[in-house]
Structure 1
Amino acid sequence: MAKITRPAAMRSLVGVMMSVIVLSACGNNEGTPAGSKNDKLTIKIMSSLQTEPPDMNSAFWTGLEERTKVHLDIDWVPINDYINKVNLVLASGSIPEVLTVTDTNLSSLVDAINKGSFWELSEFLGDFSKYPNLKNNVPESAWRLLRYNGKIYGLPRTRPQIGAAEHIRKDWLDKLGLPVPKTMDELLVTLKKVVESDPDGNGKRDTIGLMFDESYRAAFGGIDPEYTPDGGLYPKQLSTAYTNMVEWYRKAYADGLMSQEFAIMKDLQYSDMFGAGLAAFYRKNPWHQYGLEQAAKKVQPDAKVELIPYLTGPKGTTAVLSPGFYGALYIPKSVPKEKVEKILQFYNNTASDEITKYITYGIEGVHHKVENGVIKMTDQGKKEINNTTIEPFVLKLDPWSKTDSPIAPQEVNLRNREKVKPELEVGKIDPFSVINSSSWVTQWPKYDGEFTSMRTQAIIGKITMEQYKSYIDQLRAKKEFGQAYKEFAENYKALFGK
């Protein structure tokens, strides 16, 4: 059975014991020793869980072990609690052999790297001659933009450029004779009409229009750098674009489009609400379109979920492109060098065409079948392979892996590809998904809680926008942020050449 949690002390003890056992039993530097299960390399991993806990004794997971000759001991942590768990693990120092981190700019992670808690992997990877799949099948941009102070500390969780799109209940729009919105302002007008129409027919105004998502600052120019008077770079929270986004959300809240609990609502909660027919609009990976529509049809048989590639704002669009990865895998210094090499060989293997296809589709005849050259997932495949399955791996790049759904008919996937393709023409990479500042990591946590509170108060109308802007001006003027502005500017230039 899959584990959800394990006491830190026990994890540490077991990790040491397993390291001793594995290192004494395995002499193959390729990390794929043959033989019985006791001879296989065991890797202890902590990773995020977006579904029900997987059965690690299922055909999928045992099949992966047979193909890689590696036994995965995974501590699955529910996604809503994952960042908190990562923070706790980093604070305790009892770090699993591979730590999955979804936010590579997480202050606790950067602090741990600065303290030398993780291996600098450049010395192992070298020119990648020992790891051809990691070199050839992972986007060059991922290796370039994931660097911290010019060095590689994490293995990128490979992702395509198109990673998100807007989902809207098209059947509700059709019922009201409304066109699909194309701009941020049109979205607010459209959603106001939808939520006021009681689309679920329960006689209550309880439909949610949208959730808070700070990626929408891109539509207000938030993807472009904003420099300080002396040439530094303001972090995203202190940018004019971010403030303008807050003002947009203030209007949305005043129009009754947001949940009163939006500030504490988790993505998984909102996903469930959308699928249950309680929400009208949702920003998510395009591959969720079919699943969300099918879920909504259980409540309203005529439900139709339409993809909008992006919305246009006053200074940009909502098309934010991935830098080639989403999160990364980190190996702590507690892992011996010999085992680090074996772990890297394992991930070089998962980035191969063969293993990536297996992790995506499983076993033919069990998890999928091929009809007229089209892969169709079986019921068992739909159960055992999902968006949790890919979390702890480095995979070969598939430009449509966040668009194609393994449970959707091929014609749906092909149609969705065409719908989101325009993102590639207008989209930009969010620099703050990759640039870092050690000074910011040290200073910002002192103000983050207060900032979040002020942002929420501005959105719900408890304080005026003038008060919020005055607060941001005060933060901008903090002397302790000066070094961080400089570091952000230097890191931005180093990574983006501007």
Structure 2
Amino acid sequence: MVQRKRVLALSLAVSLSLSMLAGCGGNVTPSDSKGSSPSPAATGVVTKQEEPVAISFTTPLYNEPPNFQSDYYKELDKLANVKLAIKAIPFNAYKEQLNLALSSNELTDVVVNLELFDPVTIGAVRQGAFHDLTPYLGDLKKYPNLAGIPKQIWDNSKIDGKVFAIPRPRGLTDQSLHIRKDWLDKLGLKAPSTVEELRDVLKAFVEKDPDGNGKNDTYGLAVFGATLNSASAPLGSAFGANKPTFEGDKLLIPWMTNGYRDMLEYFRGLYADKIITQEYSVQKFGQDTEMFQSGKAGVVGSSINGAWDIWTNTKKTDPKAEILTLPPLKGPGGDASFLPSGYLGGIMISSKVPKDKVEKILKYLDQSASKEFVDFEKYGIEGKHHTKENGLPKVNDEMYKKEIGNASLMVGYYDPYNKALHAKATPEFNEVQKKVSDQYAAKGVPNPLEGLISDTNAKRSADLFKDRNTILTKVVVGQSTMEEWDAYLNRLKADPDVQKILKEYADQYKLKFGDKK
């Protein structure tokens, strides 16, 4: 028991492998160190000796494989009363290998699936490859840690209205807009609170030399790609693009709505005023952030917790730089905030697993959804994989990589701020970001197609919508009129296959929400 207390008396809450999967290494949520081992009620740890449950487990691997026979994995087995047989597949080959396992009916007991709504996964589910966990989970009273995952995340991850995967939870806030506060101060401007005020500020950033170098070389807003990524996501909601929009018995895809059209007109104006770079459509992911960090743009879209890294890097260019995360801006169709899915893939159980074993596996997965188990995955054994400094764990990176690695075997627990707070940020900075995150959560609008399936879309979308980005770009840069965009949409909506897609989405929406619109 002394060893167990030392193992589980940890402090931070989000697992290393989960944060790496999210593509933002180092972005974890700090919390207070409790300094004591968890209660069995909190974690589901067995209190009497039972036969360990043998579980074969397929999971992605992002770096070199660790020693799966190390003390860490032996202790994990002991704590959870399981015997894990781990099949870790390099991330770049993961999807292909998982599809091969599905086609050859060679699934392990448990599988981490990163793309629940991939057509292959949907087909496998409908052919009976995975257990429907709905009757096993019931009202979740038997699984108190899984019950901590919000209903919205469960709903978003359901397939055909049923639970085939335990969602690996994330926060329900994400994208926001960050602005150069020092530029605002230099020009005597207030932080914008509406999309119209934002446009005025962006124009000032272009025309009034906010960096003081005497040159007309700054842009207002950094974006990338034909779909105006990183800015269109939050701003789309301000124009009403994410409101469920029905035409008869069909549910429109968000980019077919009038709200999206209004947003296009907005960006069309930004382009005409040279507020966004004229080459935006061919720029790649990351180039927008580079523009901001190099002092070439005054606003950029990113996750809320991305503000700290962006600010830190911007200060390398300009030590006087200050950054502010804007709250949701008001627009003609709502507020500039959208709710993400709230999960990163899920954990599925092969239908070959006997029913009595399913419940034992779910018991383990419930344990793995506790903070204590996730902290154990993140830090390992005290004295071997980490030491304590000022009450906080300091990881031995070399030993961690060798004996633990990043093959996540856990569901993870729900932390509403895991996309808002940064482990390296100051407490004061994180407190501000936490409040901003609360504002985004309160006003966020989900994508109406979240968790909905259209078989026709999966088969035909690449061909049906192949011209969309080209036409989209022509409209924004002024080579095509808004009326030509309208004509394009009308042609699409008259296509029989597009009509099938929109009808299938409407049927799925009704399955998920009933007759609510």
- For normalisation by structure 2, the TM-score amounts to 0.71
Mapping 1:304-319, distance limit 5 Å: 304-319=322-337
Counterpart position of 2:58: 44
Mapping 1:180-195, distance limit 5 Å: 180-195=191-206
Counterpart position of 1:167: 178
Distance 1:120 1:203, change over 3 A: farther
| Residue identity (%) | 26
Any stretches of 5+ residues in structure 1 without a counterpart?
5-29, 48-52
Counterpart position of 1:442: 459
Query: For the Cα contact (< 8 Å) 2:101–2:107, is it kept in 1?
Result: no
Query: For the Cα contact (< 8 Å) 1:41–1:71, is it kept in 2?
Result: yes
Counterpart position of 2:30: none
In the aligned structure 1, how far is the partner of 2:259 from the partner of 2:380?
44
Q: 1:476 aligns with which of 493, 496, 501?
A: 493
Counterpart position of 1:294: 312
Query: For the Cα contact (< 8 Å) 1:158–1:394, is it kept in 2?
Result: yes
Distance 1:92 1:363, change over 3 A: closer
Letter in 2 for 1:453: T
Task: Pick which of 336-345 and 120-129 moved more.
Answer: 336-345
Query: For the Cα contact (< 8 Å) 2:183–2:210, is it kept in 1?
Result: no
In the aligned structure 2, how far is the partner of 1:110 from the partner of 1:152?
12
Counterpart position of 1:24: none
SS of equivalent to 1:348: helix
1:491 equivalent to 2:508? Answer yes
Counterpart position of 1:235: 253
In the aligned structure 2, how far is the partner of 1:201 from the partner of 1:359?
49
How far did residue 310 of structure 1 move? 0.9
Per-residue deviation, residues 387-422 of structure 1 (Å, max 9, x unmatched): x97988522112222222111122221222223322
1:453 equivalent to 2:453? Answer no
Mapping 1:253-332, distance limit 5 Å: 253-322=271-340, 325-329=342-346, 331=348
Query: For the Cα contact (< 8 Å) 1:46–1:96, is it kept in 2?
Result: no
Letter in 1 for 2:166: L
How far did residue 167 of structure 1 move? 1.2
Per-residue deviation, residues 26-60 of structure 1 (Å, max 9, x unmatched): xxxx9xx999xxx986633237xxxxx656659xx
Query: For the Cα contact (< 8 Å) 1:286–1:403, is it kept in 2?
Result: yes
Letter in 1 for 2:490: D
Query: For the Cα contact (< 8 Å) 2:143–2:366, is it kept in 1?
Result: yes
Distance 1:169 1:320, change over 3 A: same
Letter in 2 for 1:220: F
Q: 2:222 aligns with which of 210, 213, 217?
A: 210
SS of equivalent to 1:149: coil
Task: Pick which of 436-445 and 219-228 moved more.
Answer: 436-445
How far did residue 87 of structure 1 move? 8.0
Query: For the Cα contact (< 8 Å) 1:43–1:343, is it kept in 2?
Result: no
Counterpart position of 1:8: none
In the aligned structure 2, how far is the partner of 1:172 from the partner of 1:379?
39
In the aligned structure 2, how far is the partner of 1:221 from the partner of 1:408?
33
How far did residue 351 of structure 1 move? 0.6
Counterpart position of 1:224: 243
SS of equivalent to 1:43: strand
Counterpart position of 1:404: 421
In the aligned structure 2, how far is the partner of 1:303 from the partner of 1:92?
51
In the aligned structure 2, how far is the partner of 1:474 from the partner of 1:306?
43
- For normalisation by structure 1, the TM-score amounts to 0.74
